[in-house]
């Protein structure tokens, strides 16, 4: 494989604002659908929720580091690309994981609980997981030190992007349930439409760079995402969870909030030589995990679960 240098990407001045708005709207839409009873699954089945948390915030970053070390035996994985992989692995589950869980015949209550827990936890876990695992490799650690990335600033950014919309949405659900019911579907769709619009514009503006680098990252993202999906399932299998819950752990681990990753890349790495590589891997993950998630949902959805 030809060495992967930093991709030369171009974005309009309003790109970051558009992504922030889209992510905020999506999080607000998710929160409008959250009820206190959704958190009750944590008390009824703490084992599954704890395993899901471990799968997302411990297993996935750890296997990411091992994957980078393994791939470096054969191909060039520069620090920017490696750091992009670590950042994606440190993000919480993606906003479409609940929808994919429905299609896959997974444990929906567990999926919703894990989405809520992971998203709230990500306010602290994503920045510090990124800093911790990003420091595991000498070259990515050096890159983080060179960029002087302030983890507390990253915590504040994630709090504004995830915590504030979630808090407002849950308050609306708590005190204006009828309004929340009317708004929920529309708001989520609106956020996704805006985000897809951003992806389309960004792709059109960087089409040459995308096609130049996609052949170099396709296999990397495929393998990374496969390990996430397979690892989540195997963790559930190892600890004796029922089939529906195993599917949920797989989906929640393999469907990452790469939109949050892109916003953080734009916010903290745009002036860095690592920006292009980080953005390309996060953007392609955001596309691929939908393809992989829908494929596995189609497969599982056609397989009857016989256990009770």
77-90 confidence digits (pLDDT tens):
999 999 999 999 99
The conformational region for residue 17 under phi > 0 = left, psi -120 to 50 = alpha, else beta, is alpha
pLDDT for the residue numbered 23: 77
Give dist(CA 282, CA 85) in Å, integer. 7
Q: How confident is the model at residue 308 (pLDDT cuts 50, 70, 90)?
A: very low
Mean pLDDT across 146-150: 79
Give dist(CA 17, CA 49) in Å, integer. 34
Class of domain 15-301: mainly alpha
271-280 confidence digits (pLDDT tens):
887 888 898 8
Give residue limits of the domains in the chain: 15-301
Residue 62 has pLDDT above 90, yes or no: yes
94-136 confidence digits (pLDDT tens):
768 888 888 899 998 888 888 888 888 998 999 999 999 999 9
Give dist(CA 133, CA 135) in Å, integer. 5
Nearby residues of 126 by Cβ (< 8 Å), 6 or more positions away:
90, 91, 92, 154, 158, 260, 264
pLDDT for the residue numbered 230: 98
Q: How confident is the model at residue 307 (pLDDT cuts 50, 70, 90)?
A: low
pLDDT for the residue numbered 1: 39
pLDDT for the residue numbered 3: 44
pLDDT for the residue numbered 81: 93
Helix (H, G, I), strand (E, B) or coil at 168: helix
Residue 6 has pLDDT above 60, yes or no: no
């Amino acid at each position: 494989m030809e060495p992967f240098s930093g991709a030369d990407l171009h974005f309009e001045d309003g790109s970051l604002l558009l992504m922030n708005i889209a992510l905020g709207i999506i999080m607000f839409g998710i929160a409008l659908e959250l009820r206190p009873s959704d958190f009750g699954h944590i008390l009824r089945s703490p084992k599954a929720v704890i395993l899901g948390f471990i799968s997302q915030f411990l297993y996935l970053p750890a296997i990411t580091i091992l994957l980078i070390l393994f791939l470096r035996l054969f191909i060039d994985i520069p620090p920017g690309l490696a750091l992009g992989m670590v950042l994606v692995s440190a993000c919480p589950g993606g906003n479409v994981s609940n929808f994919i869980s429905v299609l896959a015949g997974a444990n929906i209550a567990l999926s919703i609980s894990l989405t809520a827990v992971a998203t709230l936890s990500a306010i602290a876990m994503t920045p510090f997981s990124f800093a911790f695992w990003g420091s595991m490799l000498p070259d990515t650690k050096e890159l983080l030190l060179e960029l002087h990335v302030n983890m507390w600033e990253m915590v504040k950014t994630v709090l504004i992007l995830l915590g504030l919309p979630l808090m407002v949405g849950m308050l609306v659900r708590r005190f204006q349930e009828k309004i929340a019911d009317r708004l929920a579907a529309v708001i989520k769709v609106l956020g996704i439409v805006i985000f897809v619009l951003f992806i389309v514009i960004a792709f059109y503006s960087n089409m040459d760079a995308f096609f130049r680098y996609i052949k170099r990252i396709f296999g990397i993202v495929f393998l990374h995402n496969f390990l996430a999906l397979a690892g989540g399932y195997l963790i559930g299998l190892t600890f004796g969870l029922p089939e529906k819950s195993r599917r949920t752990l797989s989906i929640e681990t393999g469907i990452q909030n790469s939109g949050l990753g892109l916003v953080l890349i734009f916010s903290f790495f745009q002036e860095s030589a690592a920006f292009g590589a980080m953005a390309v891997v996060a953007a392609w993950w955001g596309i691929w995990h939908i393809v992989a998630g829908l494929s596995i949902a189609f497969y599982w959805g056609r397989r009857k679960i016989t256990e009770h």
